Amino acid sequence: MNPFLPICKQDMQERGWEQADFVYVIGDAYVDHPSFGPAIISRLLESRGYRVAIISQPDWKDASSIDVFGCPRLGFLVSGGNMDPMVNHYTVAKKRRRQDAYSPGGKTGLRPDHATVVYCNLIRRTYKHIPIIIGGIEASLRRLAHYDYWSDKLKRSILLDSQADLLSYGMGERSILEIAEALDSGLPVEQISYINGTVYKTNNLEAVYDYLLLPEYPALLEDKINYARSFGIQCRNADPFSGKRLVEPYGEKEFVVQNPPSLPLSQEELDQVYELPYTYEYHPSYREAGGVPAIQEVQFSLTSCRGCFGACNFCALSFHQGRIIQARSHESLLNEAKKLIARADFKGYIHDVGGPTADFRHPACSKQLSKGACPDKQCLFPQPCSNLRADHRDYLSLLRKLRSLPGVKKVFIRSGIRFDYVLADRDESFLRELCAHHVSGQLKVAPEHVSDVVLQHMGKPANSVYRRFLERYSEINRQMGRNQYVEPYLMSSHPGSGLKEAVELAEYLRDAHCSPEQVQDFYPTPSTLSTCMYYTGLNPRTMKPVYVARNPHEKALQRALIQYRDPANHQLVLEALRKAGRSDLIGFGPKCLVFPRALKEEKQSPRQKPGNKPKQAGRKKIQNRQGGRKK
C-alpha cells in the first residue's frame, strides 16, 4: 500500500475507503515530514483512526478541484501552508518572488494570495453545510482583527472572511483531536465552543463566560489607538495558564471568541508526535518537476524543541507556538537520527539540532509549567530575569550523544542560538564545545541592530551584550586555533529606527570591517508586536509613540547605509548621510563611508575600490575583530 495518505480517488479506493473522514486542503505541495504542519496534523488524526485525504494546491479557479474525494464524513480541514502565503508570494517591497520553495520544482503561482480564505470560499460554493476547520500559520496569526501590510488595511478575523466554522490556532495537536472527537460523536460544529486553542463565531454572548471584551471592530478602524490597546490585551493573554477568553465584537449580533491557548505538550506527547509514520519525503508525483525545494533545508535536521521565551517583538512565535519550551527526549531524537543515518543519501552531516532557538531545551523558569509565562515581564529583556534558569547541560549532553553515533561526521547548529542566554550560563562548556564541534565556519546569531534605541523596540538585549559575546567567542576560537566567524543577522527600518540609528549601524560595520551580504528590511507580518507599532505608531505595551519609517524611499536609504560599500548604493548613501546631518562621513578619510562622487574604478572592480578590502580579506577581518560571525 502507498505509504503516503491518499491524494486522489484511486489512492482512496486502494485503501478500501468509500469516504474520507476529513479532506485536508493545503496550499503547499504534499510533503510527509514533521517539519511541515499538515503532515503532523494528518498523521496524528490517522493515528487515532481517522481517514484523512489530501488535496494539495487545488486550482482555485476551478470549483471541481475541491471535489476530488467527494464530501468527507466529518469535515474539511484547510491550511494556507507552512509559510504565510503573502510572505511566500511577496518581498517586503511587495514585489513578486521568483520561487516558491513549497511548490513542486519551486514553481510560483500554484496557490492564491490569502489562500485559506480562497480555499474555504471555494469549498462553500459546493458544500454549503459541511464543517470547515482552518489552521496553520496563516489562520493562527489572523485569528482576530489584524493589520494586513499588503493592502495597508486593518482586516477582520479570517474566520469571518473565510466562512469557516472553527479556527485551530497554535500548533494544533490538542485542539484538532478534540474537534475530531466532537464531530465524530455527532456534535454540531456550531456547538463546539469549549475547546482551548480554538476560535469560533457566535451571535450572542449568553453562553460565553469569564471573558475580556476587546474594542469592537468599527472602533479599531476609527482610531489606531484602539487597535494598539486591543493588541496589548491579546499579548497579555497569550499564555495557556493565565490567558483569558477574548471576545471581539463585529456588531451587536456578531462576535468572534478566542478561547485560551492549548496547554503545551508533555515530552512524552511531543515524542509521540515525532514518532508517527512519516515517510520524510515529498510525494513521488513531484519527482518529474524536480521535487519540493523546501525539504532540502530540513531533510537532515532534527527538531528538538518548540516555543521561544526570547519573545522578540518582530517575531510571531510567542503568538503561535508560545513562550513555554517543549522539548523532545534524547531517545526520540537519537532514534530519528538513526533513521537519517540509514538513508542512502546521508553524507554524515546532521545539519541542525534545534527549533525556534536552538539552545532552549527547558522552560525559562520552574514556575512556567504550572503558572505560565509572566504576562507583563519578559524572560531575557531588558536583561535576563533573576528567575531565569540558564543551563545548557541537557542540550550539550544531547549533542555529545548525537555526534558519537556511528556514521555521523559532524553535528551542526544552524537554527541560531541566543547569545545573551549563552552568556547568562556561568558554565562555558557549551560555548567551548560549540566552537569545537558545531560551527560550520559561521555561527548564526541575531543582534539585529547596534542602536540601543532600536534594540529596545525590538525587545533585544543591549549592544554591549552582543559585543561581550563576540569577545568570548573570539577568545575561545583563538585558544583553539580555529578560524571561525559570526554571521550576524541585521534588520533595517524596524520601528524606532531613523536615519540617525541607521548611520550608527553603518559606523559599527565600518569599524568591524564587516560587509553584510544579507540584510532584512523589517517585514510587518500579521500579529507581531512590531507590526502593531508599524501600523499604529505606538508601543502596545507602553502606549508610547514610536518612530516608524513607512516611506519606501526612506527604507531604501536605511538599507543602503547598512550596505554602504556596494557601489550601487552610492547615491542613496550620500543622500542618507546629508539628510542625517552626517556629511562628515562623506570624503576620503579613514572614517568616511563614501567618497563625494562615484569613482570610475568602482565600475571596474566594485569589491576592491579604494577604502574597501576584497571580499575574502574582509571576512577574515571580521573574525579577527568580532570573534568569528542568526531568529
In CATH terms, 9-195 corresponds, of 3.40.50.280, 3.30.470.20, 3.40.50.720, 3.30.750.24, to 3.40.50.280
Say how far apart CA 548 and CA 106 lie, in whole Å. 34
State the pLDDT confidence band at 626, using cuts at 50, 70 and 90.
very low
State the pLDDT confidence band at 588, using cuts at 50, 70 and 90.
very high
State the pLDDT confidence band at 600, using cuts at 50, 70 and 90.
low
Q: Would you say residue 620 has pLDDT above 60?
A: no
The interaxial angle of helices 463-480 and 615-626, nearest 10 deg, is 100
pLDDT value at residue 601: 47
pLDDT value at residue 516: 83
Q: Would you say residue 459 has pLDDT above 60?
A: yes
pLDDT value at residue 598: 66
Residue ranges of domains in the chain:
9-195, 300-416
CB-based contacts of 384, cutoff 8 Å, min separation 6: 390, 420, 421, 424
CB-based contacts of 354, cutoff 8 Å, min separation 6: 301, 302, 303, 304, 305, 413, 414, 415, 416
* Amino acid, res. 150: W
Residues 165, 158 contacting (CB under 8 angstroms):
no
State the pLDDT confidence band at 369, using cuts at 50, 70 and 90.
confident
Share of the chain above pLDDT 90, in %: 89
pLDDT value at residue 444: 85
* Averaged pLDDT, 311-339: 95
* Averaged pLDDT, 228-240: 96
pLDDT value at residue 1: 72
Helices (H), 276-392: 317-320, 330-341, 368-371
CATH architecture of 300-416: 2-Layer Sandwich (3.30)
> CA-based angle 193:195:200, to the nearest 5?
40
Q: In what helix (H) or strand (E) does residue 40 lie, and over which residues does it extend? A: helix 37-47
pLDDT value at residue 407: 97
Q: Would you say residue 604 has pLDDT above 70?
A: no
Distance set, CA 373 to CA 143, 174, 269, 394, 418 (Å) = 21, 20, 21, 21, 18
In degrees and rounded to multiples of 5, residue 25 shows phi and psi of -100, 120
* Amino acid, res. 152: D
> CA-based angle 484:359:234, to the nearest 5?
125
* Averaged pLDDT, 197-208: 96
pLDDT in tens, 525-579: 999 999 999 999 999 999 999 999 999 999 999 999 999 999 999 999 999 999 9
pLDDT value at residue 442: 85
The interaxial angle of helices 393-403 and 330-341, nearest 10 deg, is 30
pLDDT in tens, 246-301: 999 999 899 999 999 999 999 999 999 999 999 999 999 999 999 999 999 999 99
Residues 95, 150 contacting (CB under 8 angstroms):
no
pLDDT value at residue 611: 41
pLDDT in tens, 28-84: 999 999 999 999 999 999 999 999 999 999 999 999 999 999 999 999 999 999 999
pLDDT value at residue 602: 46
Cell of 230: 486591543
Round the average pLDDT of the chain to a whole number and report it: 93
* Amino acid, res. 589: G
